[in-house]
Amino acid sequence: MAGSPAHEIFLLPPLSLVIGGARSGKSRLAEGLVTGTARTRRYIATAEAWDDEMRARIAQHRTDRGADWITVEAPLDLPTALATAGGDEVVLVDCATLWLTNHLLAEHDLDAEATALLAAFATCKAPVVVVSNEVGWGIVPENALARRFRDAQGRLNQRIAAQAGLVLGVMAGLPMVLKGDLPPWM
């Protein structure tokens, strides 16, 4: 994916979903969507740095994005972070998978949290691009917690996709249009 030409501005729908497997190129593609809007960029991070590897990944993501992003850390309270976005911005939520994991580990009501998140997407003043992992294509997890997570993630992805005007699947760095229209530069 090349960057969008300066004269081409893509208008995102109010909600977009970029979904794929681990290391598939989801974040890079989502960043390209956001950059193509020519709006002020707000990055809402849901990751928590529990170890050195995760700290290094977070640092690399920040370096890759560059300094012209507003970064908000919201490992649990995405609705509040979305409410602070202005109408002149575009929001990238990276990612719904870590957000859901954080709620699962905190033993929160996952359905209630998902419902609040979807309501926040609907009322956000800025277009929102959400990155999420597709976790249902692998083997059935061997333990109950992993199966609960896989099922909850699948339900959350379905709910976000139903509400989204644009849904892109990503495999090997390549976008696949699942719903909506692909920007002209992709």
Catalytic residues: 61
Asked if 28 and 60 count as a contact pair (C-beta separation under 8 A), the reply is no
Neighbours of 134 (CB within 10 A): 19
d(CA 56, CA 41): 22
CA distance 54 to 60: 10
CA distances, 75 to each of 4, 115, 156 (Å): 30, 17, 16
d(CA 136, CA 127): 27
